Amino acid sequence: MSAADASPKLAARSWREVPRRLAALWRRSLQFRTVLITLALSGLAILVIGLYISFSVASNLFQAQRERVLEASNSATAAAQSILDSSDATDRASLQALMGSAIETVTSVSGSTDFGVFRDPDAPPNSSAPPDLLSSSLAGVISPELRAQVQKNPGEQYWQSVALRNGDGGTDPGIVVGSDLLVPAAGRYELYIGYNLGEAEQTLAFMQITGAVGAAALLLLLSAITLVLVRWVIEPIRTTAATSRRLAAGDLGVRMPEKGEDELATLAASFNGMADSLQARIRELAELSVMQQRFVSDVSHELRTPLTTIRLAGDVLYGQREDFPGPTSRTVELLHTQTDRFERLLADLLEISRYDAGSVTLETEPTNLVHLAGDAIESMHELGRQHGSELHLEAPGGHLDAEVDPRRIRRIVRNLIGNAIEHGEGRPVVVSVDSNETAVALSVRDFGLGMTDEEAARVFDRFWRADPSRMRTIGGTGLGLAISMEDAVAHGGTLDVWSEPGKGSVFRLPLPRVPGAGPIVSPLPLAPADPDSHGPETIIPTSDVEAADAAGREVRDA
């Protein structure tokens, strides 16, 4: 396609984009909307007032011209009748001369050269009567209706608006006035005088053009005034919006300039006062948060020394529990178990305090989630057997490495598997791993109690349990899922949950294969395809991770 062909298409496209750009400007700019609305309303008001004035002036001008024409016609008719009444002519020549003198008087007094004289058609025949006379400009102008009115009402004056031909070949507005004359020895005649109102029309047109120019100039002046006023009012609003955006972005030291004592200055002072109060409150909360984090960290560290001593003493007693009586032996076992739980709780509190303080650093390396999940399952196999839950691994395509912190991801997997075993009611637990071009995902499903939507919404809260009366059977601290969510977010992923009462739960961990790669699409669905089932039908044994790895490579290569 040549440049000549492309140019009209580009021009048409640019014109089609004008309404869209104007609509976007209307939505985004308060100044544009204010000026446009002001111009529209002002233009409408000026149009209404201008039309009223134009029609009023035209009506008054026409009425004045009509009164003048009727008065002039009446004077001309009276003068002509006076001449006719003063004559005693009876022969045809004298009557024609008399009629000519009367017509000259009519044109002289009326100021118009357009006239017509017609003998009354009802008058008896008279060979001496002067002939009819008609100016060329009135040919075809005098209507039968006007003649009928003049004929029926002798001595009266009637008028009609007409279009009179001018010297340029066009027409001008005009008025034809009809009356009658009584000619001695000839009878009654109809007299019609035409008046051209072209000058009055030109005057009206000049006034209308002047009014239109004045209206346009007034609109431009109003536009300039409105623009100045709107900018004067909108500018502080823009400053307020920009300041509030910076304040919302975390720049707590930004303030609005305060000028004058008007409403805008009051707004600026109120905004600055609010910002000062907000800054002080945020500073207090930040200091309180730091103090809380430091307190938790200090307490956790301080507790490690006595806990280590208790742990050593407990281990000595635990190693000799067989030599103690039954109640004492049981007490030693409880001491050993609770010491382990206390140690895990301190470790979790320290980890939470690191996340709260923002001091967590990931140590990423290429990691295969299938192998990591297989290792986690193997380490928790005995725990699952004790609770009657068989652990299975499904890995159709999750054999692509991802840049993650293996220690933290392993902790997430262990937390999810432990949570599934505790709430799985002795049914199987399925761990699935899959991947695509941008992400790798791991999900853990149990077929146990399940949760309601309200419970699922709080499952990641710290120390929260769906059933407070239910005892933790595997020694959890209540912080596992909260820490798992923090670990997932730190990797650029998330931790999603699906659950229904009586159908079990699914926890899904989608992670980007490369940190900071942008939005990802999970290769695993969140909701299971078989929510009503009570266990897996086709599984890959956990003891054969190498076979799963080979199967995954075959699927990926295919």
* Amino acid identity for residue 384 in this structure: G
Q: Are residues 329 and 386 in the same domain?
A: no
Q: Are residues 493 and 367 in the same domain?
A: yes
Judge whether 301 lies within some domain.
yes
| Residue 482: how many other CB atoms lie within 10 Å | 21
Q: Are residues 383 and 458 in the same domain?
A: yes
- Give yes or no for residue 539 having a pLDDT over 50: no
- Give the pair of three-digit tokens for residue 7: 């140019």
Q: Where are the alpha helices (DSSP H) in 184-262?
A: 198-248
Between strands 158-165 and 171-183, the pairing is antiparallel
Q: Are residues 466 and 317 in the same domain?
A: no
User: Using CA atoms, how far apart are residues 448 and 426, in angstroms rounded to an integer?
Assistant: 8
pLDDT > 90 fraction of the chain, expressed in percent and rounded: 11
Looking up residue 284, the CATH number of its domain turns out to be 1.10.287.130
Residue 271: pLDDT band with limits 50, 70, 90: confident
Q: Are residues 427 and 474 in the same domain?
A: yes
Q: What pLDDT, on a 0 to 100 scale, did the predictor assign at position 538? A: 39
Looking up residue 467, the CATH number of its domain turns out to be 3.30.565.10
Q: Are residues 447 and 330 in the same domain?
A: no
- Give yes or no for residue 558 having a pLDDT over 50: no
CA torsion sign for 198, 200, 203, 208 is negative
Q: Give the model confidence (pLDDT) of 375-430 as tens digits.
A: 999 998 888 888 888 999 988 865 678 889 999 999 999 999 998 998 888 899 99
**Mean per-residue pLDDT over the chain, rounded:** 81
Q: Are residues 451 and 344 in the same domain?
A: no
Q: Are residues 339 and 480 in the same domain?
A: no
Q: Which residues contact 520 (CB under 8 A, 6 or more apart)?
A: 438, 439, 492, 493, 510, 511, 512
Q: Provide, for the chain, the percentages of residues in helix, strand and coil under a 3-state DSSP scheme, each rounded to the nearest 5.
A: 55, 15, 30
Q: Report residue 252: phi and psi, to 5°.
A: -75, -10
Q: Give the model confidence (pLDDT) of 519-528 as tens digits.
A: 788 888 888 8
Judge whether 375 lies within some domain.
yes
Number of domains into which the chain is organized: 2
Q: Are residues 339 and 413 in the same domain?
A: no
What range defines the domain where residue 529 resides? Answer: 361-557
Q: What pLDDT, on a 0 to 100 scale, did the predictor assign at position 553? A: 40
Judge whether 307 lies within some domain.
yes
Best CA proximity match to 135, nearest among 107, 114, 163: 114
Judge whether 93 lies within some domain.
no
Q: What pLDDT, on a 0 to 100 scale, did the predictor assign at position 472? A: 52
- Give yes or no for residue 209 having a pLDDT over 80: yes
- Give yes or no for residue 541 having a pLDDT over 80: no
Q: Are residues 507 and 378 in the same domain?
A: yes
Say if residue 147 is exposed, middle or buried (CB neighbours under 10 Å; 0-12, 13-18, 19+): middle
Q: What pLDDT, on a 0 to 100 scale, did the predictor assign at position 289? A: 73
- Give yes or no for residue 40 having a pLDDT over 70: yes
Q: What pLDDT, on a 0 to 100 scale, did the predictor assign at position 4? A: 52
Q: What is the pTM of this model?
A: 0.49
Q: What pLDDT, on a 0 to 100 scale, did the predictor assign at position 545? A: 42
Residue with tokens 């490495």: 401
Judge whether 443 lies within some domain.
yes
Q: What pLDDT, on a 0 to 100 scale, did the predictor assign at position 533? A: 66
Average confidence (pLDDT) over 26-51: 83
Q: Are residues 437 and 525 in the same domain?
A: yes
Say if residue 32 is exposed, middle or buried (CB neighbours under 10 Å; 0-12, 13-18, 19+): middle
Q: What pLDDT, on a 0 to 100 scale, did the predictor assign at position 546? A: 45
Q: Give the model confidence (pLDDT) of 215-255 as tens digits.
A: 888 888 888 888 888 777 777 777 888 888 888 887 878 88
* Amino acid identity for residue 189 in this structure: Y
Q: Are residues 413 and 283 in the same domain?
A: no
Which residue, 303, 333, 354, sits at the end of a domain? 354
Q: Give the model confidence (pLDDT) of 341-361 as tens digits.
A: 777 777 777 777 777 767 778
Q: Give the model confidence (pLDDT) of 105-156 as tens digits.
A: 988 888 888 888 988 888 788 777 888 888 878 888 888 898 889 888 888 9
Residue 540: pLDDT band with limits 50, 70, 90: very low
Which residue, 336, 354, 372, sits at the end of a domain? 354
Judge whether 49 lies within some domain.
no
Which residue, 354, 383, 398, sits at the end of a domain? 354
Judge whether 181 lies within some domain.
no
- Give yes or no for residue 3 having a pLDDT over 80: no
Judge whether 203 lies within some domain.
no
